[in-house]
């Protein structure tokens, strides 16, 4: 009887999971069109835009035009729509019917999909590190590892935000899309190992950023289904919001007859390549708000004529406003990983537990993304155990064709090469910074980005300290008992890790003997890049673009540092925070937020 009841319980859970995911799998468009009637394809613009128009023109106009429906753009749009007409222009599609986005088990497949309609757009920095940027409604919340944590209080003070409003805005997000994870066995062993090597105290499950070991929140619910920023649009006023997908904004339009250039609207193309224009209302407080992310926003500014003089001149872009700081100060938190071998099957787990050390290093872990045969066809960044490098190809010869040939060769790798997991160590607040430059005037193409990983010696020393701690964690009795492996030597671990990590940086013969060289040769990303439109240089403290009217930026390009161990929680909060702040300044108590 007990066995029968157990089987019945499992069947019930499977049935619930199936019913919950059915809308995603059966013509997902019907599902989201019912729940989000304001989401339309860009080609429907003229037919669907007549509801918002100013009194002196037949063309559609809006109180706010948000460029980018991502991590910040969605909560910002949902908030502003409570009182004003809002148009969101998102270059990607919807996440709801995309199983690679919706399920944890397909996390790496989404990153590996490099097709033009993928939710993930790959790029390679000039440093030789493979990276990705989101191209989907919901932004990075659709393709990331799902970990959710708040920023530390020091970050909030440094950026000058209202702490009271911050503490109202985080819960607004958390109540809608954030969950407490069911701790995987791998993550439990990792937690115990962190405490064993002194990353204490244990702070349990918490969103707060505090020293020690903790379990954070996640975008994945108990069925392994991802919840994204796009779902925050359910909180919008549907009568005041229009969201266009496959709407690629090409530039911001300005009225330059006054003392300062004033944003008027945008030019965008739809999924068929047809051009459209969308305009702001005549109200001086209407705004174009760029939420294109740390890569897209500096690129958009420059393509719109705001940026360094030499940068605009080289591509014959008409200058609207000279600002030498656009695209400068780009940073990415360098990450390195140490491979953890195992003699037992390992379930898939993304980041759930984190060690927040006092030496400026965060320790995280992932596991089991090499258990399926599909994985062997994929390159998927931090969770890869692919073996082999492009070390024989000089950097200048690493053409797209060479990279594709490299990926193709991996299909012959043995399945055993994919077992186990990784301990990840990430540098907090790197001092090393780089820059972003345009390659051409095509918004669909990635700009050139340089992060200058480990250019500053302090960053390199922190990486060395982090690798030493990661090695101790792996050799802890808690991990060796779980993996059923002998305690490996540090050099053996590093040798496996050098082979496993994916980047396009040539390897050196001494990179397992010199931890400094190991850090340089095996650096990877965890997609926490930021900067390029810093406060005081490109925007003012209210995130309005300096020297312009009716143009604002709300995304991580304004950050001097990546908040918390993982920034998505604060970027989500930022969208809500800025929306409430704008409404309160414009309407006072009448805003009712």
Q: Cβ(360)–Cβ(575) under 8 Å?
A: no
Closest CA to 479 of 182, 196, 183, 145: 196
Q: Is 186 annotated as a binding residue?
A: no
Q: Tokens 């929140």 appear where?
A: 217
Q: Is 554 annotated as a binding residue?
A: no
**Cα dist. 19→16, 24, 67, 177 in Å?**
5, 10, 34, 19
Q: Is 90 annotated as a binding residue?
A: yes
How far apart CA 42 and CA 91 sit, in angstroms, is 9
Q: How many CB atoms lie within 10 A of CB 53?
A: 16
Q: 381, exposed or middle or buried, with CB in 10 Å at 0-12, 13-18, 19+?
A: buried
Tell me which of 209, 276, 379, 528 is the catalytic residue: 528
Largest separation between any pair of C-alpha atoms in the chain: 82
Nearest alpha-carbon partner for 295 in 174, 154, 445, 407: 445
586 is in an annotated binding site: no
Tell me the Ramachandran region of residue 133: left when phi exceeds 0, alpha when psi lies from -120 to 50, beta otherwise.
beta
Of residues 271, 270, 380, 260, the one with CA closest to residue 322: 260
> Residue 467 region, left (φ>0) first, then alpha (ψ -120 to 50), else beta?
alpha
List b or e across 245-258, with b for residues whose CB sees 16 or more CB atoms inside 10 angstroms. Answer: bbbbbbbbbbeeee
Q: Based on the residue annotation, tell me whether 380 is a catalytic residue of this protein.
A: no
The answer on whether 447 is annotated among ligand-binding residues is: no
46 is in an annotated binding site: no
Q: How many CB atoms lie within 10 A of CB 408?
A: 10
- Tokens 């994204």 correspond to what residue? 228
Q: Say which residues have a Cβ less than 8 Å from residue 211's Cβ, sequence separation at least 6.
A: 356, 357, 358
Q: Is 128 annotated for ligand binding? A: no
Contacts 24+ apart (CB under 8 A), 455-461: 456/430, 456/431, 456/432, 458/431, 459/334, 459/427, 459/430, 459/431, 459/432, 460/516, 460/519, 460/520
Q: How far is CA 372 from the centre of its chain?
A: 25
Distance (Å, whole) CA 390 – CA 326: 33
161: annotated binding-site residue?
no
| 420 labelled binding-site residue | no
Question: Which residues are annotated binding-site positions for FAD?
Answer: 90-91, 136, 249, 527-528, 556, 567-568
Question: Which residues are annotated binding-site positions?
Answer: 90-91, 136, 249, 527-528, 556, 567-568
Which are the catalytic amino acids?
Answer: 528
């Amino acid at each position: 009887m007990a066995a029968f009841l157990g089987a019945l319980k499992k069947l019930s859970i499977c049935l619930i999971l199936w019913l919950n995911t059915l809308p995603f799998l059966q013509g997902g468009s019907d599902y989201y069109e019912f729940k989000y009637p304001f989401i339309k394809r860009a080609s429907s613009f003229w037919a669907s835009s007549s509801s918002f128009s100013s009194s002196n023109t037949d063309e559609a106009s809006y109180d706010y035009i948000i460029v980018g429906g991502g991590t910040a753009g969605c909560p910002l749009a949902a908030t502003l729509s409570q009182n004003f007409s809002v148009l969101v222009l998102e270059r990607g599609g919807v996440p709801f019917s995309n199983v690679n986005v919706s399920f944890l088990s397909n996390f790496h497949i989404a990153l590996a999909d490099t097709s033009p309609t993928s939710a993930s757009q790959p790029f390679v920095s000039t440093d030789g590190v493979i990276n990705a940027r989101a191209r989907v409604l919901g932004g990075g919340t659709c393709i990331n590892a799902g970990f959710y944590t708040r920023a530390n209080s020091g970050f909030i003070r440094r950026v000058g935000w209202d702490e009271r409003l911050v503490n109202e805005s985080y819960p607004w997000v958390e109540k809608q899309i954030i969950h407490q994870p069911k701790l995987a066995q791998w993550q439990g062993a990792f937690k115990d190992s962190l405490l064993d090597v002194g990353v204490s105290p244990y702070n349990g499950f918490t969103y707060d950023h505090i020293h020690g070991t903790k379990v954070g929140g996640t975008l994945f619910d108990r069925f392994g289904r991802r919840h994204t920023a796009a779902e925050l649009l359910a909180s919008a006023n549907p009568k005041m919001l229009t969201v266009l997908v496959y709407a690629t904004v090409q530039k911001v339009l300005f009225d330059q007859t006054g003392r300062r250039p004033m944003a008027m609207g945008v030019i965008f193309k739809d999924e068929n390549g047809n051009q459209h224009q969308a305009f702001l209302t005549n109200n001086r407080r209407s705004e174009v708000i760029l939420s294109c992310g740390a890569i897209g926003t500096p690129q958009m500014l420059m393509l719109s004529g705001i940026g360094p003089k030499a940068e605009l001149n080289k591509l014959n872009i008409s200058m609207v406003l000279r600002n030498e700081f656009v695209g400068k100060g780009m940073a990415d938190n360098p990450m390195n990983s140490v491979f953890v071998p195992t003699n037992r099957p390992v379930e898939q787990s993304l980041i759930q537990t984190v060690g927040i050390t006092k030496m400026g290093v965060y320790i995280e872990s992932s596991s089991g993304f090499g258990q399926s045969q599909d994985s062997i066809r994929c390159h998927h960044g931090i969770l890869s155990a692919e073996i082999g490098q492009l070390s024989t190809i000089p950097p200048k010869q690493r053409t797209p064709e060479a990279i594709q040939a490299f990926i193709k060769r991996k299909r012959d790798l043995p399945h055993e090469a994919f077992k186990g997991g990784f301990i990840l160590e990430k540098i907090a607040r790197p001092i090393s910074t780089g820059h972003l430059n345009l390659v051409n005037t095509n918004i669909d193409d990635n700009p050139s980005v340089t992060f200058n990983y480990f250019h500053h010696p302090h960053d390199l020393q922190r990486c060395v300290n982090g690798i030493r701690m990661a090695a101790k964690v792996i050799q802890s009795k808690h991990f060796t008992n779980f993996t059923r492996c002998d305690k490996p030597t540090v050099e053996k671990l590093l040798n496996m890790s050098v082979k496993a990590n994916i980047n396009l940086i040539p390897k050196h013969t001494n990179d397992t003997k010199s931890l400094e060289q190991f850090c340089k040769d095996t650096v990877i990303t965890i997609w926490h890049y930021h900067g390029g439109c810093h406060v005081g240089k490109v925007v003012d403290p209210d995130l309005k673009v300096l020297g312009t009217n009716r143009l604002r930026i709300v995304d991580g390009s304004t950050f001097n540092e990546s908040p918390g161990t993982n920034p998505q929680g604060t970027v989500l909060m930022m969208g809500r925070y800025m929306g409430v702040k704008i409404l309160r300044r414009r309407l006072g108590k009448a805003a009712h937020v």
